[in-house]
């Protein structure tokens, strides 16, 4: 498969994008038994995808090939993001300030793990067995051991951390310190996976809200100004800023292309890093979380 699945929070559906043709093949409705679902975060699982739905506090399991939602489960607490380790889904719940662990085989909640205030994103590194959760309202990143489910450390970071990802070489965690709502530039906080402490902060434009890493480059979506910042990791500094327009909310990379969800224009931007040209297609309302499958 070579698809990009995008959560459209405002229209309660997913856009299924064929990356070869750069066309929307389907919009998959998530509202079977609800008034508003509000898909916010998404991850892949065994050929399907799972969405974390912020409005009705549920998760949905979606058959990608059939382009339909097949299962829904109430989780609670304003679900913001989801990731899977072994046969358990871990869901960040912004209202209840915890991680809910959901057994995907037996279809039941098995544990609640308290974290920080307003947990937002969740990322798992399977090689290290670590999980990183951003807590937006108390400006921390929680590091969890995936095997023991114990919190290893709550790391203080800058204002309104929205996303944290592991580097492709497993050495670092890159945290978006978004400073949302302010006139100040935000930062990418670089945290060592060995010491679980910050090694440096890289100024990265206004409202760095999402980040994607591949090899020696990080690509940062700047929500408030319509730019993507390119960070060269050997120098740990921004080497390029590309204007793509709109309000970039999420970013992924596949081959030579960056894929940016424009939360304001309700569109997907494909930016060619080789020739600096972009293409745009319309998708659902308020695109936010994305996953490649």
Residue 204 belongs to domain with CATH number: 2.130.10.10
- Residue 19 placed within a domain: no
pLDDT single digits (tens) 156-207: 999 999 999 999 999 999 999 999 989 899 999 999 999 999 999 999 999 9
Q: What is the pLDDT of residue 31?
A: 76
- Residue 52 placed within a domain: no
Measured distance CA(260)–CA(288) in Å, rounded: 10
Domain count, the chain: 1
Q: Which bin fits 87, alpha (ψ -120 to 50), beta or left (φ > 0)?
A: alpha
pLDDT greater than 80 at residue 290: yes
Long-range CB contacts (< 8 A, 24+ apart) of 153-156?
A: 153/196, 154/115, 154/116, 155/191, 155/196, 155/197, 155/198
Q: What is the pLDDT of residue 1?
A: 65
Q: What is the pLDDT of residue 35?
A: 74
Measured distance CA(281)–CA(246) in Å, rounded: 13
Mean pLDDT over each residue of the chain, to the nearest integer: 96
- Residue 267 placed within a domain: no
- Residue 88 placed within a domain: no
Banded model confidence at residue 33, pLDDT cuts 50, 70, 90: low
Q: Are 112 and 98 in contact (CB under 8 A)?
A: yes
Whole-number Cα distances in Å, 108 to 72, 283, 289:
12, 33, 24
Whole-number Cα distances in Å, 292 to 21, 199, 239, 289:
15, 30, 26, 11
Full domain range(s) for residue 132: 115-243
Q: What is the pLDDT of residue 208?
A: 98
- Residue 143 placed within a domain: yes
- Residue 218 placed within a domain: yes
Measured distance CA(76)–CA(95) in Å, rounded: 8
- Residue 84 placed within a domain: no
- Residue 133 placed within a domain: yes
């Amino acid at each position: 498969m070579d698809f990009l699945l995008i959560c459209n929070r405002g229209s309660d559906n997913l856009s299924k994008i064929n990356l070869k043709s750069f066309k929307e093949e389907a919009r998959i409705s998530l509202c079977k038994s609800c008034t508003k679902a509000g898909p916010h975060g998404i991850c892949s699982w065994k050929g399907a995808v799972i969405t974390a739905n912020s409005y009705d506090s549920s998760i949905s399991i979606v058959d990608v090939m059939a382009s339909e939602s097949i299962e829904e489960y109430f989780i609670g607490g304003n679900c913001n993001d989801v990731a899977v380790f072994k046969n358990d889904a871990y869901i960040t719940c912004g209202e209840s300030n915890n991680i809910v662990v959901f057994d995907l085989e037996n279809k039941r909640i098995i544990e609640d793990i308290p974290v920080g205030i307003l947990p937002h994103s969740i990322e798992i590194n399977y090689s290290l067995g670590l999980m990183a959760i951003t807590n937006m309202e108390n400006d921390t990143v929680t590091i969890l051991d995936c095997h023991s489910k114990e919190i290893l450390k709550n790391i203080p970071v800058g204002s309104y951390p929205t996303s944290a990802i592991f580097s492709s070489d497993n050495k670092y965690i890159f945290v978006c310190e978004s400073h949302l709502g302010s006139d100040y530039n935000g930062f990418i906080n670089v945290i060592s996976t060995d010491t679980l402490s910050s090694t440096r902060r890289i100024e990265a434009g206004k409202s760095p809200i999402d980040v994607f890493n591949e090899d020696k480059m990080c690509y940062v979506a700047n929500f408030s100004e319509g730019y993507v910042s390119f960070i060269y990791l050997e120098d740990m500094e921004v080497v390029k800023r590309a204007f793509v327009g709109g309000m970039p909310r999420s970013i992924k990379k596949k081959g030579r292309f960056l894929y940016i969800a424009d939360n304001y224009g309700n569109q997907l931007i494909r930016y060619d890093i080789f020739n600096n040209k972009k293409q745009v297609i319309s998708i659902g309302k308020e695109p936010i979380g994305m996953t490649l499958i």
